[in-house]
């Protein structure tokens, strides 16, 4: 056991990831000084080979191998998406009632973004959960920690925890005393932690401040004497139809519908750019989304994602 745990620790140290001894019963850290506001000096022992070797050769020889997320010695540390299993008898908000795990919720997020399940280094936990390992972004602020649902990034949703700056996870190969089985690597041997896919990075970072909304008024190109082209009339109709779809979407389908109509309007933009300009589309869809009960932050992110997807032409023709 000592040699196995120590070997796991040294492997991750060689990958530029700081390590920390953790309790094999409750997974709590057994050494202090690694928090979100820790200095470089405080973090140094967790990346020192001699110190780490001594930990798993002496007083912590049977400890779990914890990986410190957020900052690595190679310049890009880890951010881990922790997908938990739903506990029997637990309640979730109505829009997540379908989910039996955080994996179900993340899968729907990927589907709504029109993206596949992220292919990256993956670990199965003794309790049946899943850890998805990614590299911290090269540019911009590092991703922090969040637990479950919340109004601000990097919260993703119930049954999903985010481990970034100041956090830790238990490494694959480390043995759990509580469940009696190890954390197991599920990805292929040649798969390493990947960069965060753009759609997921958008959700993990705060939305950009929205431009002040101007009064949203219906687009009308049917007045007598109007010289609107057929394409412009069709675009105006598409925008009005999209607003109606949003206002009548059922509770569990509102975000999916918002992404769908934003993408559709993005696809139509080229046919009538003066009617379906980005500001008009954003304001009309946001107003409808807010009336249907969606949060402004989430709605703006979804509109932007769908609009950009439509402009790119990927998934063209989808309703």
Neighbouring C-beta atoms of residue 260, cutoff 10 Å: 23
Q: Report pLDDT for 294.
A: 82
Closest CA to 185 of 169, 200, 201: 169
Q: HEC string of the chain?
A: CHHHHHHHHHHHHHCCCCEEEECCCCCCECCCCCCCCCCHHHHHHHHCHHHHHHHCCCCCCCCEEEEECCCCCCCCCEEEEEECECCCCCCCCHHHCCCCEHHHHHHHHHHHCCCCCCCCCEEECCCCCEEEEEECCCCCCCCCCEECCCCCCCCCCCCEEEECCCCEEECCCCECCCCCCECEECCCCCCCCEECCHHHHHHHCCCCCCCCCCCCCCCCCCCCCCCCCHHHHHHHHHHHHHHHHHHCCCHHHHHHHHHHHHHHHHHHHHHCCCCCCHHHHHHHHHHHHHHCCCCHHHHHHHHHHHHHHHHHCCCCCCC
Nearest of 203, 191, 74 to residue 134 by alpha carbon: 191
127 CB neighbour count, 10 Å cutoff = 12
Q: What is the pLDDT of residue 207?
A: 62
Give me the pLDDT at residue 209, please.
Answer: 52
pTM for the full model? 0.69
171, 70 contact by CB (below 8 A): no
C-alpha 315/C-alpha 48 separation (Å) is 49
The pLDDT value given to residue 254: 86
pLDDT of residue 208: 55
Phi, psi (5° rounding) for residue 180?
Answer: 80, 10
pLDDT tens, per residue, the chain with 319 residues? 668 889 999 999 999 999 999 998 888 999 999 888 899 999 999 999 999 999 999 999 989 999 999 988 877 899 999 999 999 989 998 889 999 999 999 999 999 888 999 999 999 999 899 999 999 999 889 999 999 988 888 999 999 999 999 999 999 988 766 667 789 999 999 999 999 999 999 899 876 554 444 444 444 444 444 567 888 888 888 899 899 988 888 877 888 899 999 999 999 999 989 889 999 999 999 999 888 888 888 888 889 888 999 998 754 433 3
């Amino acid at each position: 056991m000592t040699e196995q745990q120590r070997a796991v620790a040294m492997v991750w140290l060689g990958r530029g990831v700081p390590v920390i001894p953790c309790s094999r019963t409750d997974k709590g850290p057994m050494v202090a000084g690694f928090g979100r506001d820790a200095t470089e000096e405080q973090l140094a022992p967790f990346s020192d080979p001699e110190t780490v070797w001594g930990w798993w050769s002496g007083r912590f020889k049977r400890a779990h191998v914890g990986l410190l997320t957020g900052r690595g010695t190679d310049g890009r540390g880890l951010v881990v998406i922790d997908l938990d299993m739903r506990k029997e008898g637990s309640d979730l908000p109505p829009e997540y009632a379908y989910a039996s795990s955080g994996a179900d919720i993340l899968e729907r997020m990927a589907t709504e973004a029109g993206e596949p399940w992220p292919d990256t280094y993956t670990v199965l936990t003794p309790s049946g959960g899943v850890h998805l390992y990614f590299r911290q972004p090269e540019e911009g602020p590092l991703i922090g920690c969040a637990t479950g649902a919340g109004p601000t990034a990097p919260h993703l949703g119930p049954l999903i925890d985010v481990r970034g700056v100041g956090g830790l996870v238990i490494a694959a190969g480390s043995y759990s005393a509580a469940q009696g089985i190890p954390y197991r690597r599920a990805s292929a041997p040649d798969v390493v932690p990947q960069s965060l896919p753009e759609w997921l990075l958008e959700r993990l970072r705060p939305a950009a401040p929205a431009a002040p909304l101007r009064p949203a008024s219906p687009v009308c190109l049917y007045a007598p004497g109007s010289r609107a082209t057929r394409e412009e009339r069709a675009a105006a109709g598409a925008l009005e139809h999209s607003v109606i779809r949003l206002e009548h979407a059922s509770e569990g389908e509102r975000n999916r519908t918002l992404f769908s109509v934003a993408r559709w309007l993005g696809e139509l933009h080229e046919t009538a750019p003066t009617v379906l300009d980005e500001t008009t589309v954003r304001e009309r869809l946001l107003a409808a989304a807010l009336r249907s009960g969606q949060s402004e932050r989430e709605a703006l992110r979804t509109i932007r994602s769908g609009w950009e997807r439509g402009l790119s032409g990927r998934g063209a023709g989808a309703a």
